[in-house]
Amino acid sequence: DSGVTQTPKHLITATGQRVTLRCSPRSGDLSVYWYQQSLDQGLQFLIQYYNGEERAKGNILERFSAQQFPDLHSELNLSSLELGDSALYFCASSVTGAGANVLTFGAGSRLTVL
Amino acid sequence: TQLLEQSPQFLSIQEGENLTVYCNSSSVFSSLQWYRQEPGEGPVLLVTVVTGGEVKKLKRLTFQFGDARKDSSLHITAAQPGDTGLYLCAGTSNQAGTALIFGKGTTLSVSS
């Protein structure tokens, strides 16, 4: 157990739907990162939050949004889902939001869009 | 365009063989990290290299950071079936901002 908790582990939904993925960071970590992993693109950085504020943005689609709450847990919202959104979504946390951080990853949420 | 290119993409070897996987970029990185990911789990950090030319050893694994801090390599001596997994390099650079950017990884399979 890495200490980073992601729910749900598996999610199957239909195109056009909206889902929310949840992440609880490791105790003491202030920064949360979201990554999308697919076979063809690898692990792609989506977005980073530090202590409730957005810190960095990667290849996140406009249909996707995220936030970090005062208790430091984070949610990734995916809307108007398309077949191509099927992927593993990982949350990671770190103590600070600076570069060269050690990231601790959760076990991921596997999203299947039918 | 991938900021970090890893090669080979796939590697299938017998137990006891040696192997090297590479992570290359045209950009300078302030640091590079190597992670290992097993099926159904998230990546787990193996090592961080910070100084150009740095060599770090972790049991049978040897990590090297290039002098110009644009590339890194991972060498495994006498591979074992337990080494099977996806090896990912990741780095931070001025181009990447504060985020950790990953290569696509090398999938290693070691059979007994």
**pLDDT tens, position by position, B22-56:** 999 998 888 899 999 998 899 999 999 999 999 99
Test the A interface: residue of B3, B98, B107 with most A CBs within 10 Å: B98
The reported pLDDT for the residue numbered B97 is: 61
CA pair distance B64, A14, nearest whole angstrom: 45
Residue B2 banded pLDDT, cuts 50, 70, 90: low
Predicted confidence (pLDDT) at residue A97 exceeds the cutoff of 80: no
CB-CB neighbors (< 8 A) of B102 in chain A: 35, 42-45
pLDDT tens for each residue of B50-104:
999 999 999 999 999 999 999 999 999 999 999 999 999 999 866 556 678 899 9
Query: Side chain identity at A70, as an amino acid letter?
Result: P
Smallest Cβ–Cβ distance between B48 and the set A4, A90, A100 belongs to A100
| Shortest CA gap B40–chain A (Å) | 7
**Which three-class secondary structure state does DSSP give residue B59?**
coil
| Shortest CA gap A50–chain B (Å) | 11
Largest Cα span, chain A: 38
CA pair distance B70, B52, nearest whole angstrom: 9
Residue B100 DSSP one-character state: P
| Shortest CA gap A37–chain B (Å) | 9
- β-partners of residue B84 are none
The reported pLDDT for the residue numbered A98 is: 66
CB-CB neighbors (< 8 A) of B2 in chain A: 42
pLDDT tens for each residue of A47-63:
999 999 999 899 899 99
The reported pLDDT for the residue numbered B90 is: 94
What mean pLDDT comes out for the span A70-77? 97
Residue B1 banded pLDDT, cuts 50, 70, 90: low
Backbone φ and ψ for A99, nearest 5 degrees, come out as -65, 165
What DSSP line would sit under A70-109, residue for residue? TTS-EEEEE-S--GGG-EEEEEEEESSSSTTPPPEE---E
Cβ burial A73-99 (10 Å sphere, 16+ → b, else e): ebbbebeebeeebbbbbbbbbbeebeb
List the structure tokens of B3.
């900021």
Nearest CA in chain A to B96: A58
Inter-chain contact A103–B101, Cβ cutoff 8 Å?
Answer: no
CB-CB neighbors (< 8 A) of A55 in chain B: 98
Nearest to A92 by CA among A19, A29, A10, A7: A29
